[in-house]
Amino acid sequence: MPQHANTTCHVSISLDGFIAGPDQSLEQPLGRGGRELHLWHIEEPLSEPDRRAADLLMRPRGAYVMGRNMFGPVRGEWTGDWRGWWGDEPPYHAPVFVLTHYEREPLEMEGGTTFHFVTGGFEEAYAGALEAADGRGVDIAGGASTVRQALAAGVVDELVLDWAPVLLGSGERIFEGVGDLKLEPFETIHSPLATHVRYRVG
């Protein structure tokens, strides 16, 4: 695994430990009930604490790593012209390395985002992100499998969890199979919709 530097991960999570609900689909990309985890940053007007947490979520990074399920609902070989959930100008404004089993040419979008599709696994995607970031930091954008791989590889320096007062019962977890993980909280931001906790990892 390449040397890491300033790698972050920021996800919303239910009280029972899920970052997405069951039955993810085009109609419900976050699974059943998953949208409830994100009300703190999608329902205007944002409270001052939630705006602080949203600023953390959207802080500029040099590159990103995400899983194919986060990029979109397409499975198997790439078909059609799926370009992500975010429209013509995704919010990343930096290179994004997407884990996939199927090759696809890089996809350039407006605003400086280019999606690179990586078939060599997490280590290859992370190495590409580190090089592209050039010292400006890497973010592990999700979904659950990609976050688990990053935590298990020991490359995450800071983990931000937005604990929503929601119980999903089932879905996608991020802490299964990640080994002996030590989290040190160093900032907590409270709002009626979420408790945002910043942790140092390791």
Q: Do β-strands 95-99 and 183-190 pair in parallel, antiparallel, or remain unpaired? A: unpaired
pLDDT at 12: 98
Q: Do β-strands 95-99 and 114-118 pair in parallel, antiparallel, or remain unpaired? A: parallel
Q: What is 7-22+30-72+89-201's CATH number, 3.40.50.620, 3.30.360.10, 3.40.430.10, 3.40.50.880?
A: 3.40.430.10
CA distances from 141 to 18, 167, 184 (A): 15, 22, 21
What tens digit of pLDDT does each residue of 159-192 get? 999 999 999 999 999 999 898 899 999 999 999 9
Per-residue pLDDT of the chain (202 residues; tens, 9 = 90+): 555 559 999 999 999 999 999 888 888 888 899 999 999 999 999 999 999 999 999 999 999 999 998 999 888 899 888 999 999 999 999 999 999 999 999 999 999 999 999 999 999 999 999 999 999 999 999 999 999 999 999 999 999 999 999 999 999 999 998 988 999 999 999 999 999 999 999 8
Q: What is the pTM of this model?
A: 0.93
pLDDT at 28: 85
Tokens 């983990």 found at: 159
- Where in the chain are the domains? 7-22+30-72+89-201
